Chain A
Amino acid sequence: MELYKFLPKTNCKKCGKPTCMAFALDLLQGKVKIDDCPPLLEPKYKKNYNTLKELIGSEEGKEKELRIDVETDLCDGCGICVTVCPVNARYCPPTLSGKAPDYPPEKHQLFQVKAGKCELLAIKYCRRIEAQGRERECRVCETYCPRDAIKIDYV
């Protein structure tokens, strides 16, 4: 727990949390901000405060909102993303043999090709939001799009 190291570790409860550890956990999940810990704002913790700012900056990505951009100009509707996305594979059986899923789309379906172009449907079921552990690191649609038309990003 890297963040914990840089907290005052006094368990003073001024933040409203029982311990500094609890605060650190919430900090990691983006539930609280660094400034919510009053002692940290004191000059003697200035260095720790700045280090934390940097650390959070890099971890903040996790809490930003997932964006999957499909560059329609580049896309030629090859349907690889539709087939390769594990969520589609699970909910749309035709994709198992590389076929187009049924229409209208199943509610979990993430991609469909319509009028020759790829459309992103229900981003909320993307493994990067839904899944746990390694599965959460899914990026196959971006990796395998031969046109580099898919960009996974956090904003």
Chain B
Amino acid sequence: MKGVKKLVNKRVKCTGCSLLCDDIIVRGDGLYIDEVIGACLKGKEKFEQITGKNRILSPLVRDKGELKKVSLDTALERSIEIMKESSKPLLYGFSTVSCQAQLKGIELAKSINGFIDSNSVICQGKVLNTAKEMGLTLATISEVINKTDLLILWGANAAESIPRLLNKILFSRGKFRMTGREIKTLIIIDPVKTASFGVMGVRDLSLNIDPGKDIELIRVLKEECCTPSGFPADGVAGIDQDDLKRLLIQITNAENAVIFIGQGILSSQTSVNVVHELLDLVHMINIKQQKGRMSIMMLGGHYNMAGFDQVALSLFGKNHSLQFFDNNLVETSETIISKLSKEDFDCSIIVGTDPISHLPWKLSKALMSKPLILIDNKKSATFNVADVILPSSLTGIECEGLAYRLDHVPIELQKIVNPPNNIISDEELLSKLISRLNPI
């Protein structure tokens, strides 16, 4: 009989999504995690990935069409070969790795004259780009918990993408008052009735906007803010006059309002314009408001999407789409999408993401047609087409790292257990590639 395991409780952070909940309790003996308490289903699945069926446990290299298990050395060598043969390498992903790994990724791109982009470019990166011209008022989660009295979910199905978000921002009671839900008003603007509508109370406002008409609504609100002349009688974008009036009263009277911009806006085709108008509206309200304040929070999904933006911004003043040549950043207006559609690359290094299943088919096909090196911890569609696969450990569970939460607050992630098969972290893998490329 085995000795009785001594289980200890430990509060840890979860890397299941960009909320990076820091209150998860794991019970374990230091070698294994036995129980996860407090995490949502998504978070629990993340912790289960340690022993998940789709975990990548050894380096693989494609040989005559077949993936073969090899030593890490061989896989690294093969990667170096691919990179050396290439003159226009593409690096993409980096939204589910630590900031340290992102830094190494940029360094690698530098040393191979590569083009590096993160998932953020097709998501919240657009907001940050727009914000460079017009400024951005961000809120933090604690601010929302303690102070906010109006929450607007705009094209954001928080209940699905970030399961515990509503719990934290809407139902928590906060430090300064013992009431929570009662004083917080929720407005949901969405063309479809998502699960988030389930938390609506009587004072809340749900607006079923016509798809793609967000910009019209914002423009009308802006107009009303400067020169009140009444809303059109037949409403705007499928929202009737009464609701428009209530919306305006809410946003102009709230003491501390936060707009949560979700995927519905971030990943739409016209998002740049929408975001521009939206930031303008926020700006306008903030100027007009005497005591109140309105801010924005972006709901990207991957746990460290904000990290790449921060790292790249702090180094180069540009948050995505970095092209390097001769160790220097060069001006470019390309993005991963334009690069792929023009097939302007000759090999790709994908880190911690699954573009083959996310991107449109045409772009995936372009990716598949060139050598592909994948650094990741779980099998995916991209895994099935990759030429070299380097397995990495799970940041926040099997190795430490820094990540930026969705409100752009840095969170130090911890190590809880040892990785299987001595798998090393994304950061170490990238460092090994760099040092092999440039032997001293």
A contact set with B: CB distance below 8 Å: 75-80, 82-84, 89, 94-103, 112-117, 140, 143-148
Contacts and interface: CB of A to CB of B under 8 A. Distances in A.
Contacts of A102: 25
Interface string B223-238: 0000000000000000
8 contacts: A77-B39, A80-B166, A80-B199, A84-B180, A94-B23, A100-B37, A100-B38, A116-B45
B89 interface: no
B199 A146 contact: yes
Given A84-B181, A146-B166, A97 B173 contact: yes
B357 interface: no
A77 B171 contact: no
B40 interface: yes
A114 B164 CA distance: 14
B125 to A, nearest CB: 28
User: Interface centre among A76, A83, A146, by most B CB within 10 Å?
Assistant: A146
B297 to A, nearest CB: 15
B283 interface: no
B198 A148 contact: yes
Contacts of A97: 145, 168, 172-175
Nearest to A140: B181
Contacts of A144: 171, 181, 198-199, 201
A76 B171 contact: no
Given A96-B173, A97-B174, A98-B168, A76 B42 contact: yes
A23 to B, nearest CB: 41
Nearest to B38: A100
Given A83-B172, A97-B172, A115-B44, A146 B159 contact: yes
Contact of B171 (A83, A101, A147): A83
Contacts of B134: none
A96 B163 contact: no
Interface in B42-60: 42-45
A115 B35 contact: yes
Contacts of B21: 100
A99 B12 CA distance: 12
A100 B199 contact: no
B173 A76 contact: no
Interface string B158-183: 01000110111101111100101100
Interface string B191-218: 0000111110100000000000000000
Interface in B99-154: 145
Contact of A113 (B40, B166, B175, B199): B40
B36 interface: yes
A143 B201 CA distance: 9
B336 interface: no
A146 B198 CA distance: 4
B169 A98 contact: yes
B9 interface: yes
B260 to A, nearest CB: 15
Given A98-B169, A146-B198, A79 B36 contact: no
A94 B41 CA distance: 20
B24 interface: yes
A78 B198 CA distance: 12
A51 B25 CA distance: 55
Given A89-B173, A96-B173, A98-B172, A78 B37 contact: no
B27 interface: yes
A97 B45 CA distance: 24
Contacts of B171: 80, 83-84, 98, 144
Contacts of A146: 159, 166, 195-199
Given A97-B145, A146-B195, A148-B198, A79 B169 contact: no
A77 B198 contact: no
A103 B7 CA distance: 12
A48 to B, nearest CB: 41
A101 B25 CA distance: 9
Contacts of A140: 181
3 smallest CB-CB distances across A and B, nearest first, come from A100-B38, A98-B172, A116-B44
Nearest to B146: A97
Given A99-B172, A100-B23, A146-B198, 10 more contacts: A77-B44, A78-B164, A80-B167, A83-B172, A89-B173, A97-B145, A97-B168, A97-B172, A98-B172, A116-B41
